[in-house]
Copies of this chain bind each other. A is one copy, B any other.
Amino acid sequence: MLRFESDYLEGAHPKILEKLIETNFEQTAGYGVDDHCERARELIKKACGAPDAYVQFLVGGTQTNATVIASLLRPYEGVLSAVSGHINVHETGAIEATGHKVLPLASEDGKITASQIENAYSAHINDSSFEHMVKPALVYISQPTENGTLYSKSELEAIREACDNCKLRLFIDGARCGYGLKAENNDVFLPDLARLSDVFYIGGTKVGALFGEAVVFSNKKLCENFRYMIKRHGGMLAKGRLLGIQFETLFEDGLYFEISEHAMRLALKIKYALKDMGVNVLFDSPTNQQFPIFKDEVLQKLSEKYSFCYWCRVDDTHSAVRICTSWATKEDSVDALLEDIRKLV
């Protein structure tokens, strides 16, 4: 079975494992204040062109989303998100567990717009019952989105402006950040994410690490006592250095970008091969998640040799699936998959 259902099917990039072995018997302070974490912070700030940013490391995405969002909001405030946003759908209520409502905005492809944000805010402010409603205070977007789509720089700038106009904060979930950076026609880079968000994160779990997300606060006013929040949310890793070591490895020689590029090359190989074969897609994704629509019988046949993430039924005889590439995807596997699809469609 060759698996394509997600981008977290394997362990970690071998260089990370090597570094873990190399450092294994160093004795370090716990909880992320060791030298590896410090160095990783510096490397990330440099990559973001944000020398004054504040960087902390957490273990996983849901934990990061809940910790950051709970840290930014007062109790009666909520977070605007695409209805399909990870925090609205796939975190078992981790945001609500911190007392906050996710305020959903309609979205076809995982993205939301500056004008949706402004409308939501002004609808709240102009409602005579505003005190009876959750106050929008934060915007959550993901780059790339859960549907593989990407914001352009001008879209992000418009969202930033909307946030400024409405005194909202902007949090960008970068769980698949690397794949976005290396996506087709992408014009949003780490310094843009740092500059345009109040806080965002660089995902490690899906991009070469065993686990780990690097949270970058550009807005230093918001990071006060963030480490208390990490501990409170069970995200303060005792051997915090494990996070430092991994991000050090990913960012010291550009490994993060290199492996993201690898995944993207294979994703686009799939995308255009499918296009050539006339396979329709659910979302036109420029990133490492592709969403082809197959006849159910084709899908059944393919599923004997390949695993995908079933996404949704499209009509009585067709379904959409998600196919992911990652830093670990082998070109041979992609070629085998494409060949088998070609035979079937």
Contacts and interface: CB of A to CB of B under 8 A. Distances in A.
Contacts of A6: 30, 238
Contact of A229 (B71, B75, B238, B309): B75
B211 A239 contact: yes
A310 interface: yes
A96 B235 contact: no
Contacts of A343: none
Interface residues of A, number: 80
Contacts of A295: none
A1 B26 CA distance: 11
Given A60-B236, A128-B310, A24 B17 contact: yes
A177 to B, nearest CB: 15
A167 interface: no
Interface in A97-133: 97-102, 104, 128-129, 131-133
Contacts of A102: 101
A137 to B, nearest CB: 10
A226 to B, nearest CB: 9
B211 A76 contact: no
B93 A101 contact: yes
Contacts of A30: 6, 8-9
Contact of A17 (B21, B97, B211): B21
Contacts of A3: 27
Interface string A59-83: 1111110110011001110100000
Contact of A101 (B96, B206, B225): B96
Contact of A27 (B10, B98, B101, B233): B10
A134 interface: yes
Nearest to A22: B11
A21 B21 CA distance: 10
A272 interface: no
- Kindly report how many copies of this chain are found in the complex they form together: 4
A28 interface: yes
A231 B60 contact: no
Contacts of A2: 27
Contacts of A128: 309-310
Contacts of A25: 10-11, 328
Contact of A92 (B24, B92, B232): B232
Nearest to A71: B75
Given A101-B93, A135-B225, A229-B76, A24 B11 contact: yes
Contact of A93 (B12, B27, B232, B239): B232
25 contacts: A2-B27, A10-B25, A11-B23, A20-B20, A25-B328, A59-B59, A59-B234, A60-B237, A61-B238, A71-B75, A76-B225, A76-B229, A76-B232, A89-B133, A91-B232, A92-B228, A92-B231, A93-B100, A94-B232, A96-B101, A97-B98, A97-B233, A131-B231, A205-B239, A211-B237
Interface of A: 1-3, 5-6, 8-12, 14, 17, 20-21, 23-31, 59-64, 66-67, 70-71, 74-76, 78, 89-94, 96-102, 104, 128-129, 131-135, 205-206, 210-211, 225, 227-229, 231-239, 241-242, 309-310, 328
